Structure 1
Amino acid sequence: MDREKHKQYCANLEISLKKGLVKKILRQREGLEELSLEIDGCAQKGLSFPQLTGPAETGDEVWVNTTAVDLKLGSGGRHFIAANLSRPERKEVKKGGHIIKLRYTPLQLKVNTLEESFPEIFKEHDSIDGLPVIILELHSMLLPAVYTLKEALPGLKLTYIMTDGGALPLVLSEQVYYLKQEGLLDCTITVGHAFGGDLECVNIYTALLGAKHILGSDVAIIAMGPGIVGTGTVFGFTGIEQGENINRVGLLRGRAVTCPRISFLDSRSRHRGISHHSITSFSRVAHFPAEIALPVVDGERRSLLSRQLAEHNLPGIHKLTWHETGEITAGLSGLSFKVTSMGRTVSDDPYFFAAPAAAAKAVLNLIKDKKEERKC
C-alpha cells in the first residue's frame, strides 16, 4: 500500500443499534429465541440469546444490533438482541469458575472451564495418545462426518470441539441441536471466545486433552461454528485454522484426519474442485502430516482433483486416501433435517458433503485397524 492510500485507509469499526419492539415469540428452544420485531415501523425478525440478555416477552422494548442485515451479509445477516430495555437487570453470577469469554466487551461472561475444574489432568497429560481427530473447515461439514461415524458404530463416543472462527454461541447451530436431539453427538466443547458448549475450555489443546483424558472420547471433531470469514485473498479467511489445527493435533501426538472443501458447483474458480482455502491450509500452514480423505469421483472430476493435489505436492506432504461415499450422501438426503451449505443441498453439490463423510470413513478404518492390532 503506497503512502497516500495508507493515509486514506480506515478500519471503519462501526455498529448499528436500533430500538425495537417484540411483537411475538416465533420459536423457542434452550438458549435461543426467534422473535418477530417491529423496527422503525417495519416487521423484522431477530434472534435473542436469553443467557446473555434474559428471556424476551411480547411487548418488550429492546436494543437490536442490525449491522449484518444493514450490510446485506449472507450467513451473518440477522438481527440480534443486544439488550432488553424492559428487563435490563440480570441475576448475580454464581460461584465457580472465573474465566471470562467475550473479554472486555459489554457482554463479557463468566464460564467454568475444564482447566479450572481438573487441573491435575492437565498437569499429568501432554499427549492425546493417538486419538483420531477429524479436522474440518466449515461447520456445515459436521453433520455428514457425525452421521457417517454413528451409522457405522452407534456406540462411538464423539466430542465436537467448536472453535471461535465462525459464530461464537454454540446454540446458534441448528446442526448441533439436531445431532444432540437425535443422540448422535455425545459432548460439545467450546474454546477461545466460543461459548455455550456442554463444557468450556480456554483453547483447542486443552479441549483435545479433555476429550481424551476426561471424557474418554473415541473420536474428536474440530470445526468452527456457523459462518466463515473470507476475503478472497490467500491467507485472509478464518478457515485457515484447519492447517493450524492439524499442527495442534500433531503436537499432542494425535491422528489428524481431514478433508478438503470440494465443489463442482461453485461459480468462483478459486473454490472449484478443491478450494484454495484447503490448498493453502494443507500446503502452506500445516507443518505436521495428516491423512487427507477424499471421496471417489469419476472422469474429469477425478482428473481435476488429482491435478490440484499434485500441483501443490500434497501427496508428498500428507497421506491421501479415497473413499466410496455414495450410500452416505443418499442417507443424508433422507434425513428429517435439511442438510445444506451456503443454501446448497446434498443433491445440489454432493461432493461437498461427501468429503467430510470420507474423513469419517478414514477414521473408521483407523479404528478397525487398531482393533485388529489388539487381536494380534
Structure 2
Amino acid sequence: MRVRREWPGAMELDVTTEDGQARALAYPALVGRPEPGDAVLLNTTALAMGLGTGGYAMVVAVPDRLPQDPRGPGHLVKARYTPLQATVLGADEQDSPFHDVLRDADSVDGMPVIVADLHSALPAILCGLYGTTPPGAPDRPAEAGEGGAEGEGGHRSSGRPPRVAYVMLDGGALPAWFSMSSARLRQTGWLCGVVTAGQSFGGDVEAVTPHTGLLAARHVLGAEVAIVTQGPGNLGGGTRWGFSGVSAGEAINAAAVLGGRPVAALRVSEGDLRERHIGVSHHSLTAYGRVALAPAKVAVPVLPGDFGRRVAEQSRPLGARHELVEVPVDGLVEALRGSPVRLSTMGRGLDEDLAYFLASAAAGRLAASLLSSGS
C-alpha cells in the first residue's frame, strides 16, 4: 500500500493480505524495491508467532519485477543454501582490496573488545564509552591497513573520541540492515563501521569468521575499540546451553587469541519477568563462566541497594577465571539519555529496566579507562 519509512538497506511497508493489513519489511538488495500497488510474496512467520523483535511480514519477492542481477565481485555466499542467499565481497577473500592486509594479520594490537549478549546493549555500551562527550560528525574512513590506535596496546593520547566498530555475529538477525540502531549509529558517527561475520551480512565490511571480523575492524576500519554482539532477535530455549548468546563466550576467546583486551558486559535486569534473567542473567554466567576459556575484564556495575548486592554476589563465581572490575555508574544515566537511538531491550525502555542499560554502559566506561591508561 505504501512505504512507511526507510533506512540504509531496508524499507518498512504497509501491506494488505487476505487477513487484513500488516507491516512488512523488504531488503531491496535481495528482493528489489517494492512500489505501492505491487503484489509481494510474504513470509508471515513473525506475525503468526507474535515475535517481539520486529514482528514484520518479510518480503520474499516482488513476483512481477526481478531484483538487480546479484552477481558481483564477491564470492562469499551468506545465508547459504536458503532461497535468499546473498553473495558478498569478503574483506578476507582473494579478490578483496584488503586481502593483502588481512592475509597474514594475526593481532588486533591490544584493542579493547567489548562483548555483550544482546544487540540492545550496543548503544548503551557506546553511551558509557563516550560518556557525556559523544562524537560529532564521523571521521574520515580509515585507509586499508591503517591502524586506528595511537601507541602500543591501543593507548591514545589525543582527546578525540575513539573510533568504534561493531562486529555483528550471526546468532540473531542475519541482515545487518534489520538494525535501525546500528544504521543510525553509523550515520551519526557513533560507529565508524559495521562488520558482519559468519552467516550475517550487509555490513560495511564482510568477514568469514568473528576472528577475521575483529581483524577487519582493526586493520580495515581502523577501529580503536570493537563491540561484539549478535544481531537483533536472539534465540533462547530456557535451558542452560540452549541460547544463541553462548557466542559471547566464544567472542571472548577470539578477542584474546588475537591479542585483544576482552571486556565482558554483564546482562543484568531488574525488570525481566523471568527469574533466570533477574540480577545477572544465566546467559552471562554460562557464556563467561563456562564457554569463555580466556580471561577477560568483567564490568560489574556498582548498583545501589539490595539489588546491587545481588548483582555483585551473582558475579563472584566469574572471578575464578576473569578479573571482576567494579565500575561506578554515576553520570551514566545522563549519558544514556543522550543516546541518538531509542534504548529498548525486550520491549523495556530505559526507565523500565535501568539496571540493564547501566550494566552495558559500565562495560563501555571500563573500556574507555583501558584506552586512557593503556593497561
Give me the TM-score of the superposition, normalised by structure 2: 0.88
For 1:204, the equivalent position in structure 2 comes to 210
8 Å contact kept, 1:147–1:184: no
**Do structure 1's residue 55 and structure 2's residue 33 form an aligned pair?**
yes
Partner of 1:14: none
Greater per-residue helix proportion: 1
Question: Paired residue for 1:253, among 248, 255, 259?
Answer: 259
| Equivalenced residues, count | 346
Q: Whole-Å Cα distance in 2 between the matches of residues 327 and 27 of structure 1?
A: 34
2:163 to 157, 161, 166: 157
The match for 1:102 among 68, 72, 79 is 79
Instruction: Give a deviation string over 1:271-320, Cα, whole Å, max 9, x none.
Output: 1100011111111111000000021112211321222123xx21221111
Distance (Å, rounded) in 2 between the aligned partners of 1:32 and 1:53: 11
Q: Within 5 Å, which residues of 2 pair with 1:17-56?
A: 23-40=1-18, 42-56=20-34
Q: Post-superposition shift, 1:97?
A: 1.5
Deviation at 1:41?
A: 5.3
Residue 328 of structure 1 corresponds to which residue in structure 2? 332
1:127 equivalenced with 2:131 (yes/no): no
Q: Is the 8 A contact 2:4 2:12 kept in 1?
A: yes
Partner of 1:314: 318
CA distance in 1, matches of 2:270, 2:39: 47
On the 8 A contact 2:171/2:245 being kept in 1, the answer is yes
Q: 1:134-283, aligned counterparts within 5 Å?
A: 134-151=114-131, 152=133, 154=135, 155-283=161-289
Task: Give the unaligned 5+ runs of structure 1.
Answer: 1-22
1:284 partnered with 2:264: no
Q: How does 1:6-17 map to 2 (within 5 A)?
A: none
Write the distance in 2 (CA, Å) between the matches of 1:217 and 1:44. Answer: 40
Q: Distance in 2 between matches of 1:129 and 1:334?
A: 31
User: What do the CA deviations read for 1:143-163 (whole angstroms, capped 9, x no partner)?
Assistant: 011222234574311111111
Aligned pair 1:360/2:364, yes or no? Answer: yes
The whole-number CA distance in structure 2 between the counterparts of 1:216 and 1:37 is 42
State the match for 1:73 in structure 2: 51
- Output the CA distance in 2 between the equivalents of 1:150 and 1:256: 18
- Give the match's secondary structure for 2:367: helix
Look at both structures and tell me which one has the larger radius of gyration over its CA atoms: 1
**TM-score, normalising length from structure 1?**
0.88
Q: Aligned-pair distance for 1:336?
A: 5.6
CA distance in 2, matches of 1:106, 1:317: 43
Residue 236 of structure 2 aligns to a residue in which SS? coil
Shift of residue 76, structure 1, vs aligned partner: 4.8
Residue matched to 1:91: 68
Q: Percent identity?
A: 38
Q: Which residue of 1 aligns with 2:342?
A: 338
